[in-house]
Amino acid sequence: MKIFIKNMVCNRCIEAVKDVFEDSETEIKSILLGEVETENELSKQSLEQISEKLKSKGFEILEDATQKLLEKIKKTIIQKIAELDIAEDFLLSEFLANELHKDYSALSKLFSQNHEMTLEQFFILQKIEKVKELLFYNEFSLKEIAGKLGYKSIQHLSSQFKGVTGFTPTEFKRKKEKNRQPLDLL
């Protein structure tokens, strides 16, 4: 049985959802961002119990086809960004049309009607979140980050970053380092 789940965006989400199913003694065949496949069909009562546990952790079972498609769009974008392999000439429209086998204009319209932003805006916000993460962990230089996320230059990345966060990447990094506290003080 395939169950589609809203708000799964990272590996920690997969673990949290996995825990809910294991606590409910439900055998999982596979688990990916946005979906869980169980070994057996679940009773309505079991599904309702799992649904309540998922809601308490910020997740939601999707039953509507439109919601499933919207989650698939978001999951596809998030996974692409996580790969850290976006070419400078990357086109979101071509990528989504190829990955989801649907017309991009229809996907874009559906997304905009259901969210307060366009697909391009969502893509940019997700890239900026990834930039923040990479800056926080200090694994790559700004030039390397720009290259991995498809920016044509550091200036382009910095301009977009400042437009979204209000800080340049350097200011953001300094602010994070200043505000970092040891774990034992949290």
Q: Which domain holds residue 38?
A: 2-63
> pTM, whole model, 2 decimals?
0.74
Domains of the chain: total: 2
Band the pLDDT of 179: cuts 50, 70, 90: low
Answer with the one of 63, 84, 115 that is the final residue of a domain. Answer: 63
What's the pLDDT at 65? 83
Residues 52 and 81 placed together within one structural domain of the fold: no
What's the pLDDT at 70? 93
Q: Which long-range contacts (CB under 8 A, 24 or more apart) does 63-70 make?
A: 66/110, 66/114, 67/4, 67/6, 68/4, 69/100, 69/107, 69/110, 70/110, 70/111, 70/114, 70/115
Q: Which two tokens stand for residue 173?
A: 């990094």
pLDDT (mean) for 52-79 = 91
Residues 93 and 42 placed together within one structural domain of the fold: no
Q: Is 185 exposed, middle or buried (0-12, 13-18, 19+ CB in 10 A)?
A: exposed
Residue 183 maps to a domain: no
Q: Report the share of the chain in percent with pLDDT over 90.
A: 73
Residues 140 and 73 placed together within one structural domain of the fold: yes
Q: What is the domain-level CATH number for residue 29?
A: 3.30.70
Q: What does the alpha-carbon distance between residue 103 and residue 107 come to, in Å, rounded to a whole number?
A: 6
Residues 72 and 149 placed together within one structural domain of the fold: yes
Band the pLDDT of 183: cuts 50, 70, 90: very low
Residue 185 maps to a domain: no
Band the pLDDT of 63: cuts 50, 70, 90: confident
Residues 49 and 77 placed together within one structural domain of the fold: no
pLDDT tens string 13-51: 999 999 999 999 999 999 988 889 999 888 889 999 999
Band the pLDDT of 75: cuts 50, 70, 90: very high
